[in-house]
Structures are given as structure tokens and as C-alpha cells.
Structure 1
Amino acid sequence: MYGNHCCWCGKQMRRSERTIEHLVPKSLGGSNSLSNLRLACFSCNNSRGNSLLPPQIRKTFELPNRSY
């Protein structure tokens, strides 16, 4: 489907850069079924966390950390 490209940013990845991404995170009830798994670069996978939103959209909704 995506070949050697990240499912989120489209970056071409070497084998060592590939991570397995859960579309619905396991922490939110997602499974290890093939329909829920994609290849993603570490940066996109890590920045998405357990959000249901793609990394690029998630950044739009993040609030800056503020110390009061």
C-alpha cells in the first residue's frame, strides 16, 4: 500500500527507520490486526503518541505548555 514510505508524511524510509504504527492506538482499544497497522517513520509515530489524529493535524491542536 505505502511501500517504503511513511503512511503519514510520505518520507521514503530505510528498513532501520521503519516503525509499526497503530491507526487506533492499543491504549485506546486498537488491535494488532493488519487493518490497524501501518509503517511510519519514527518521528511521525513518536509525535502522534496515543492520539487518533495524524501527527500533522495533532500539532495544530496542541496547546503550548505553560507554567503558572
Structure 2
Amino acid sequence: MGNGSYRPELRAILREKQGGRCCYCDVRMRISFKSKMRPDSETLEHLDRRTDRGGNDRGNIALACYRCNTGRGASTVVPR
């Protein structure tokens, strides 16, 4: 899931819930435009990957930094 305008209200809820930190590595994240992504940019992450039938429901989405989200690949990582 990219860093576009997907559900800004969901991003705000998750940002508040997670204290602005990555669900995996706990780094403080920045809000960035998709064209200017940085390792600490905020991204929406499917905890159960879509390829593993993970859906878009709120319970399956968290905020992860760009580094963790893109580096996860096929691995199973447990969020903090």
C-alpha cells in the first residue's frame, strides 16, 4: 500500500495509536509524499500480507517506516 491519500483518517488514528512510531522498529516516522520517500517515511502496512489473504480492514493495517515495509518481503515479522 503506497503513501498516497489512502484514508487520511485511518493514518491519523494509527499515528495517534502508535505514537508516530514504526510498528516494527519503533523509529519515529515522517509524513512524506510518495515521490520523496525516505527510510523513515510513514507507510501503511498490511500485517497479514495481501498475498496471504490479508485484507484492508483496520485490524490488519499498521504504520511502518518505509525501510521496514519494503524490507519485509516474504518474511513474517511480528509488530511491536
User: TM-score per shorter chain, which class?
Assistant: 0.7 to 0.9
Aligned-residue Cα RMSD (Å) equals 1.6
Larger Rg: 1
Deviations 1:11-49 (A, max 9, x none): 001111100011100000000000000000000011112
**TM-score of the two chains, using structure 1 as the length reference:** 0.72
Runs of 4+ in structure 1 displaced over 3 angstroms? none
Structure 2 length normalisation: TM-score? Answer: 0.62
- Give ranges in structure 1 of 5+ residues lacking alignment: 56-68
Gaps of 5+ in 2: 1-16, 33-40
Q: Give the aligned length.
A: 55
2:71 to 23, 26, 47: 47
Residue identity over aligned pairs, in percent, reads 42
Q: Aligned partners of 2:19 and 2:51: how far apart in 1?
A: 26
